[in-house]
Chain A
């Protein structure tokens, strides 16, 4: 019986990804600083890839990975269907170093797939509902014999167009560029970030520009050390295509801030130093390190400031805020810019530090309820049965 079944059963339609994937090899994590390091020698820190991993060619690897995905799908794991993956996805998968990294990425793609599916279903449902409502309105107006009153939608107020608001904001920004205080974002950390972090940085840099522009008293914001052929700036350029136009109010320099501004005025804001910034000094030019460090927490900005011999400072975060456990004290770049904007305007740390997300802080009055709620939410989200879990984990032991 088995024999016949298998002979009949195993007619496999070969599963293959679209093989027209082209493109370059991405991601080189560590790089050599362009400035010379007096102690540079052969590095011991490089972790060797698994000693026995053989090298194989790309086509073969793609076929194997496609099979891996297909098998995981058949196994009922949280992975997307083969057809869902795009060439870019495969390109990224090829760069991932291990099986577990790949499966994390598959799970992420699975979530995206499911979200897309349910959005599609909802859209269809909505279309049906709209159609029904229209039908009902049409019926009502047919039944009603009266004329419909109104001034045929005219108003006595002037309409303010988006472009008017836009040029108002740009005007503010250009004023700031001529007369305002300067601030610098140091975009030189591309090579210390992975792909994900670099894209995040680009997003935050875009937000920095936008939120600075909307503020009452914007800074004269300078993006320094920007190398346009690297991922962060490329992504930012895709977000703001007019970024490099001469009439666009944005300063992007390939030069370092040390070449653009007097050294004695520069203050590098780095969380790793031990001096608090006491008050905002309009003569100083503050530098924010343009980095998202989710993976490693090396004191890169500290090293940079030390190397250049600049003054350093950090925000007095512990002096003014009660920090909750867990989420860390890292802030995004746009939060930093917002804090400095409000500090400049109000000279009041309490107001400026309102931009620190509430979830990172402890509200002592409401803390117990908050914890309770969070716990309950998590339990629900995981559809978690504590008794069962406890029992089964005991069994395992």
Chain B
């Protein structure tokens, strides 16, 4: 009972009210009026229209057509949609523009399941030209549907103009980009256009769909420059840190096996070794130029911003800079309160200072120079363990009303490219404040230098400290040596993948040479 309820709550929390009036009832309606095997007769359409208009309050003559075709969105309903068009013609009614443009989209989804006949392509062209002629300007939804249509025909290059037109009022959708890119990938001579579109997709921070890569792979399998093209694709997904889906990987494996190129699905160990070929993945690297850029802009972008008083105060920042300039470099900067609160909040200072001292000892034993960032209220912890901490590490206390994370990050950055920091916090709220370019650099830097405390144990003078090292290896597709590629992939296509810090679960190991 409780489990069922929790389930329900979870479902509800994900639930969004659909933007379309019909869609909440669409499953029900589809089942009732669309026989799975056969087609619908004209009288059935009149019934459907009346029923829909009666049962759903906000439907009227203006939006009924698109609502009907909305119910036909899946699979082989093209026949029904065309029948509906016939029916409208018979009734001497004018189909709405949205209906016609959605019909183009339906052609597109049908094209994924079977090859369209030449007569159907002609129809697409007719509808397309008629719609284009009718409007002086086009809005983004019309553009999208028109692109879906035209990308099936020989005149698909007109779709590129439509993309430009879309940008007047919105960012083009992933679907319309991908429809064009997959068409462009159908011929080797137009590859350059396709790659340009793909660059635009990733520039908009969208994920290219599987169909683009499948279309690409289908084309190159017959070409002479097979390996060159393949490496171009690997380069692209590596450079943009994309993860393709299992579906694409299966396709890729088929083709590779056909060409007798060795390929394996594999896992990568925590130390970065491939299970199959035993090569070690490349280390992540940060250019000096990139690092300097980050170092230069970090304080302004994250701590000071428009108003330094929100997170700190001018005096505090000046003091901090003065101290850090004098005492750097450090090997490791520790987020004092984050480390300490790993045992839970609301404990006494004795516990806290014991943890801190054991962590300091851990680094001291490795001969590291340590800086701890804390808050002023820590000065009240008057325990022997704190004496040990003070003797073996430098501590900077920020004010109780200031944020300590930006100080921590800046201290680590300022100390140089080799300095690590210790915190469990993923620092998302701070990286959010950086611009796109710096965000990428910051994440890379984090992936190389962020250590996190797993546990301290062994009582008050706890000496057992377990610290997780960063993965530090490339977690995107890359080449090692002459032609050994490792490509991470995910189970399913995700339009909006979560940010990942560790190593992906699934990899494909390809030996091109």
Contact = CB atoms under 8 A, between A and B. Distances in A.
Interface of A: 1-12, 14, 30, 32-33, 37-48, 50-54, 56, 60-61, 63-65, 67-68, 71-78, 98-99, 103, 107, 114, 272-274, 298-300, 302-304, 306-307, 375, 378-379, 382-384, 386, 388-390, 392-393, 397
Contacts of B433: 44-45
A272 B126 CA distance: 63
A11 to B, nearest CB: 8
A99 B327 CA distance: 51
A37 B95 CA distance: 61
A309 to B, nearest CB: 10
B412 interface: no
A79 B432 CA distance: 33
Given A39-B314, A51-B203, A375-B12, 20 more contacts: A2-B123, A6-B126, A9-B94, A9-B100, A10-B100, A12-B134, A32-B306, A37-B307, A44-B301, A48-B436, A74-B63, A74-B66, A76-B70, A98-B170, A306-B313, A375-B8, A384-B12, A386-B8, A389-B11, A390-B11
Contacts of A390: 7, 11
A44 B435 contact: yes
Contacts of B168: 54, 56, 60-61, 64
Contact of B306 (A37, A60, A75): A37
B158 interface: no
A378 B171 CA distance: 34
A10 B313 CA distance: 65
Interface in B62-109: 62-67, 70, 85-86, 88-89, 94-102
Interface in B101-135: 101-102, 123, 126-127, 130-131, 133-135
Given A39-B314, A307-B309, A397-B492, A392 B59 contact: no
A5 B100 CA distance: 11
Contact of A65 (B28, B130, B169, B492): B169
B282 interface: no
A5 B136 contact: no
5 contacts: A4-B89, A54-B168, A73-B62, A78-B19, A302-B401
Interface string B14-55: 110101111010011000000000000000000000000000
Given A39-B300, A60-B137, A71-B98, A389 B85 contact: no
B171 A50 contact: yes
Interface residues of B, number: 84
Contact of B21 (A76, A299, A307): A76
A78 B63 CA distance: 11
B392 interface: no
A131 B237 CA distance: 74
B450 to A, nearest CB: 21
A101 to B, nearest CB: 10
B140 interface: yes
B401 A5 contact: no
A37 B62 contact: no
B305 interface: yes
Interface in B279-318: 297, 300-301, 304-311, 313-314, 317
Nearest to A6: B130
B9 interface: yes
Contacts of B436: 48
B400 interface: yes
B461 interface: no
A2 B19 contact: no
A4 to B, nearest CB: 8
Contact of B89 (A1, A54, A392): A1
Given A73-B62, A74-B62, A45 B140 contact: no
Nearest to A378: B12
A41 to B, nearest CB: 5
Interface majority SS on B: helix, strand, loop or mixed?
Answer: helix
B89 A306 contact: no
Given A50-B204, A99-B170, A5 B89 contact: yes
Contacts of B304: 37, 39, 41
B20 A71 contact: no
Nearest to A304: B309
B126 A67 contact: no
B73 to A, nearest CB: 12
A392 B140 contact: no
Given A43-B305, A76-B59, A382-B17, A303 B310 contact: yes
A300 B11 contact: no
A77 B309 contact: no
A203 to B, nearest CB: 26
A6 B131 CA distance: 9
B309 A306 contact: yes
A47 B89 contact: no
A370 to B, nearest CB: 14
B310 to A, nearest CB: 4
Across the A-B interface, the 6 shortest Cβ-Cβ residue pairs: A44-B301, A303-B309, A74-B98, A68-B139, A99-B170, A303-B310
Interface in B427-450: 433-436, 438
Nearest to A4: B89
Contacts of A384: 12, 15
Contacts of B300: 39, 41-44
A12 B100 CA distance: 13
A74 B97 contact: yes
Contacts of A392: 27
A68 B141 contact: yes
B20 A76 contact: yes
B11 A386 contact: yes
B167 interface: yes
B152 to A, nearest CB: 16
A135 B334 CA distance: 85
B169 A99 contact: yes
A73 B435 CA distance: 37
Contacts of B101: 71
B422 interface: no
A304 B306 CA distance: 12
A389 B438 contact: no
Contacts of B169: 61, 64-65, 68, 99
B12 A47 contact: no
B27 A67 contact: no
B15 A44 contact: no
Contact of B301 (A43, A50, A67, A68): A43
A38 B308 contact: yes
A54 B102 CA distance: 27
B140 A306 contact: no
Contacts of B86: 1
Contacts of A78: 19-21, 58
Contact of B19 (A71, A103, A272): A103
A44 B434 contact: yes
Contact of A274 (B20, B62, B164, B400): B400
A386 B361 CA distance: 55
Contacts of A32: 306
A71 B301 contact: no
A52 to B, nearest CB: 6
Contact of B126 (A2, A30, A38, A299): A2
A300 B134 contact: no
Nearest to B56: A76
A67 B139 contact: yes
A85 to B, nearest CB: 15
A158 B307 CA distance: 60
A235 to B, nearest CB: 25
Contacts of A37: 304, 306-308
A10 B130 contact: yes
A74 B63 CA distance: 4
Which residue, of A47, A306, A386, has the highest number of chain B Cβ atoms within 10 A?
A306
